[in-house]
Structure 1
Amino acid sequence: MTTVQQIRYTDHPERWHALAGALGLTPPYRPTPEWAEFEGDGVLAIHRATPDRPAGAVDLHVLAADLDAAAEAVAAFDTAREEMADVGAVLRIAAVDGVAVTVSAGVRAPRGDLAMQPIWFAHDLDEPRRLLEALGLRAQIVGDRGGWVDLAAPGGGAVGLHAVATADMADAPSIGLSFLAAGDLDALARRVRAAGFDAAVIDESYGRTIRIPDPDGGEEIWINGVQDDLYGYDRET
């Protein structure tokens, strides 16, 4: 059993805490400016920016029910076991594209209609998919042309894999912040606006999204509605 946690680094943790509350996420313990967690379908963690991880950076972390079993499952990948203060043992799995996925013990129960769905932007989706499947995630929706895979974790949250051509990717492969909403997008947008944030609902070719300005001034935060139009996609069984 695994749960997806996306970690967002920020210079404005209090604004992110307020936004998390407006999104319907709940903290399991009192948030601090240095670190906070907010639970939904998966976990959003807010980390104060550091010299190594500036505002806007996002990490993909997986919470596992059994860390030893997770280590065995990813033994074929470039994996190191580390000790982290206040966390304990952590697995760091280095993908060949330079993205690192970390794993620690502590699976959560999914709750609510808002899922964490960090996006792994990569040139080749083969290794990212195999790595995540080794950690227990399973593909739900796959693009016919191989450019998109949505994988869900049994303990909450999901990860989207998005193939980007080398010529179109200005930076190295990376993780981007994203959410997936199963409920009423218009009602969610109204709640976000009532909390003092701008929120626009946009009709996309594949569905609807909410766009929210980033408290750190970066690219807009995307909340995608559950994809119902499967033209060009297949639903895995």
Structure 2
Amino acid sequence: MSTTRDPLSVRPVRRTDDLPAWDVVLQALGGVRLSGDDGEAVYQLGAGRLALRPADDAHPAGSTELCLETSVPLAEAVEAARAEGVPIELLEGEGGPLAVITADDGVQLTLEPLTPNPEELAASEPSLAVLPVWRTPAGRVALDVLDGLGLRRRVTLEDGTWADLTARTGGLHGVQPMSEVGTELAFELTGRVESLLEPLASAGVPAEVVEEETCRVLRVPDPDGGEPLRVVEREPDLYSYALSEM
């Protein structure tokens, strides 16, 4: 069993040209800012975290990068992941060391040191979890990587169209088999999504609740002008789900 299983937190990276607008949205969703400088910021949500970084030519505004944080030394985390068969490299990035996984479908996922929270700040909405989604024709590949890193399987839809995993110290990670590779930033709320309408409206952020095919969703405008952000209402009835292989 990987030694990275206990200290992982899901913390995707969102590229943006409008950090102030994101700050308004995330605070309305109950997030609290842990750090921020040079146009970057990290927010603690009820479960998991979200990093905001400036867009550039290689990372356009509105794009989402898959990332996890670990509180163990990166070299130790890399060794543990390799022992689980994860294709991972330890590199030196602009902001310091990081570990990079390049999956067989071409998707990259990074493992970075835990963002400090010395004041032990907590989100004001504890029921909201970050939920990045890995879309890929190779669902098994994605699950093998996330399993090997130490995330724990939560549910798998019986028809194989969805699976998600949890990190022990916070956050969810979705895997959605689709014909094209991609990523999405989403969130999940344990409770009625209508509860978020008032704080969003008070912050000047319009939002709407819609009934999608499999769940109820709160749609929030993307500060960078893309497709609306989705806050999925957690489905309390899991009879249509099974802990089966995708």
The TM-score normalised by the length of structure 1 is 0.89
- Is residue 222–residue 228 contact of structure 2 (8 Å, CA) maintained in 1? yes
Distance 2:27 2:129 in 1: 14
Distance 2:139 2:243 in 1: 17
Q: CA deviation at 1:208?
A: 1.5
Match of 2:21 in 1: 15
- Is residue 130–residue 171 contact of structure 2 (8 Å, CA) maintained in 1? yes
- Is residue 75–residue 90 contact of structure 2 (8 Å, CA) maintained in 1? no
1:60 is aligned to 2:69: no
Match of 1:202 in 2: 210
Segments of structure 1 that go 5 or more residues without pairing to the other structure are none
Q: CA deviation at 1:176?
A: 0.7
Match of 1:72 in 2: 79
1:233 is aligned to 2:241: yes
Distance 2:243 2:232 in 1: 17
1:35 is matched with which residue: 19, 31, 40? 40
Tell which deviates more after alignment, 213-222 or 197-206.
197-206
Q: CA deviation at 1:151?
A: 0.3
User: 5 Å matches for 1:70-219?
Assistant: 70-75=77-82, 76-86=85-95, 88-106=96-114, 112-164=126-178, 166=179, 169=180, 173-219=181-227
Q: CA deviation at 1:28?
A: 1.4
Distance 1:183 1:228 in 2: 9
- What is the RMSD of the two structures over their aligned residues, measured on CA atoms? 1.9
Aligned residues: 228
Structure 1 residues 78 and 235: CA distance shift in structure 2, 3 A: closer
List, as ranges, runs of 4+ consecutive aligned residues in structure 1 with deviation greater than 3 Å.
107-111
Match of 1:50 in 2: 56
SS of residue paired to 1:44: strand
Structure 2 residue identity aligned to 1:60: L
The TM-score normalised by the length of structure 2 is 0.86
Give the share of equivalent positions with the same residue, in percent: 30
Structure 2 residue identity aligned to 1:229: D
- Is residue 125–residue 162 contact of structure 1 (8 Å, CA) maintained in 2? yes
Distance 2:148 2:30 in 1: 30
Q: CA deviation at 1:52?
A: 0.7
- Is residue 207–residue 228 contact of structure 1 (8 Å, CA) maintained in 2? no
Distance 2:191 2:31 in 1: 14
Distance 1:234 1:227 in 2: 13
SS of residue paired to 2:57: coil
SS of residue paired to 1:150: strand
For residues 71-126 of structure 1, give each alpha carbon's deviation from its aligned partner in whole angstroms, at most 9, with x where no partner exists.
1232233322111233x321100001110010022177885211110000000111
Match of 2:8 in 1: 2
For residues 176-213 of structure 1, give each alpha carbon's deviation from its aligned partner in whole angstroms, at most 9, with x where no partner exists.
11001113311212211221111001123433110012
- Is residue 207–residue 229 contact of structure 1 (8 Å, CA) maintained in 2? no
